[in-house]
Amino acid sequence: MSASTLPHEEKKLQLSRMAGLGYGLVYGLAFGLSVWGYDTRVLAHSQAELAWARMAFIAGVAGGVGSAAGLAGHLLVERARGLASPAGRTSGRRFPGAVFILCPLLAVPPGLIGDEIINRSLRTGQQTVHRAISIGSAESPDHGGVAPYHDQLSAGYTLHLVDYDLETQGRETIDVAFDSGLVMRCQVAGYGLAGCPPISPKFEVWMDALVQEGLRGGQGTELDPQAGHVSADEHTLSWLASQREHISDRYEISRDTQRGGWVIMSAHFDTGYVVTCYFHGASPVILDRCSGNQTG
């Protein structure tokens, strides 16, 4: 190969890499948007938790994986290398623009199939709850028992998918956390809403029972009335009993946050000590663990 042909070969190689990168990037983004784009739009409209954040993450992953796969695409690379002109110049008009048309055509059909298989059943319940909340907020005929709590509803809320029955693929537990502080736990079966009773007062009762367990030595008697609704293992009860020197009978309970099916509750004592407990699940609610921290 003569020295005069080297720039031409280098430009062809550069064009090949750009074509492979562009193909992979467009394919990855088109596939990711086909699988999760509509799902994200529907969930964001339903005020589901972290809908857009999830889509941004998926788009980044899909684009990155697609780009890496595109760079390894032998056939497209070989095709692109032949697009350099005999004079060693590349023409922007001859760049494989068809890639940006063909890639979505190849990516969208499997993406839509993936959306139907993976996402549709998971978003249906949240759509159902969103419609019920919207109707209940408008004081229309009651849907799922929402209307009786109309005065406690607020315009802003977040949906949390707490539990999904993989066996039936139709039964879901979804929490609606209103900006007002009220949390309702909705049971969805298929396309029907069985009810949305308030759950936030129950978490306060359960957290209070745990504090009382700690004050009384962890004998389990305070949780007896909650049997079948919340479950705590002996290790956690023993830990609560070991905190008696830090806690007192003067305290305030607060709901710190919720992420999906995880609810974090805290008891703030006048001693400056804070006990934080982590709950998850629906039937029954499971107390995963508790921890303590001296704040003052």
pLDDT digits (tens), the chain, 296 positions: 444 555 666 676 666 667 666 777 777 777 777 776 767 777 676 666 656 666 676 667 666 666 666 655 555 555 555 554 454 444 444 445 555 666 666 667 776 776 676 667 777 788 888 888 776 544 444 455 566 666 777 778 889 889 887 666 568 899 999 988 889 999 888 778 888 889 999 999 999 999 988 888 766 577 777 777 888 888 888 898 899 888 998 999 999 999 888 999 999 999 999 999 999 988 889 999 999 999 86
Do both 179 and 216 map to the same domain?
A: no
Do both 7 and 113 map to the same domain?
A: yes
- Paired residues of 158 in beta bridges: 177
3-state secondary structure (DSSP) of residue 153:
coil
Q: What is the pLDDT of residue 12?
A: 65
Do both 15 and 115 map to the same domain?
A: yes
Q: What is the pLDDT of residue 206?
A: 93
CB within 8 A of 188, min separation 6: which ones? 124, 125, 128, 129, 171, 172, 173, 174, 194
Do both 184 and 217 map to the same domain?
A: no
Do both 115 and 172 map to the same domain?
A: no
Do both 226 and 179 map to the same domain?
A: no
Residue pair 223/230 in contact (Cβ under 8 Å)? The answer is yes
Strand order of the β-sheet with 192-195 is 157-164, 171-178, 183-189, 192-195
Domain holding 167, by residue range, is 127-195
Question: Distance between CA atoms of 272 and 107, rounded to whole angstroms?
Answer: 57
Query: Of 68, 85, 119, which closes a domain?
Result: 119
In the chain, the amino acid numbered 65 is V
Question: Distance between CA atoms of 207 and 229, rounded to whole angstroms?
Answer: 13
Q: What is the pLDDT of residue 255?
A: 94
Measure CA 108 to chain center: 23
Do both 56 and 25 map to the same domain?
A: yes
CATH number, domain of 235, equals 3.10.450
Do both 139 and 239 map to the same domain?
A: no
Q: What is the pLDDT of residue 192?
A: 80
Q: Please state whether the predicted TM-score (pTM) of the whole model is above 0.75.
A: no
Q: What is the pLDDT of residue 130?
A: 84
Number of C-beta neighbours around residue 123 at 10 A:
20
Do both 217 and 233 map to the same domain?
A: yes
Question: Distance between CA atoms of 207 and 257, rounded to whole angstroms?
Answer: 14
- Paired residues of 183 in beta bridges: 177
Do both 158 and 204 map to the same domain?
A: no
Number of C-beta neighbours around residue 209 at 10 A:
17
Region for 218 from its dihedrals, namely left if φ exceeds 0, alpha if ψ lies in -120 to 50, beta otherwise: left
Query: Of 195, 225, 248, which closes a domain?
Result: 195
Do both 207 and 290 map to the same domain?
A: yes
Query: Of 176, 195, 214, which closes a domain?
Result: 195
Please give the tally of structural domains in the chain.
Answer: 3
Do both 157 and 74 map to the same domain?
A: no
In the chain, the amino acid numbered 130 is H
Q: What is the pLDDT of residue 140?
A: 42
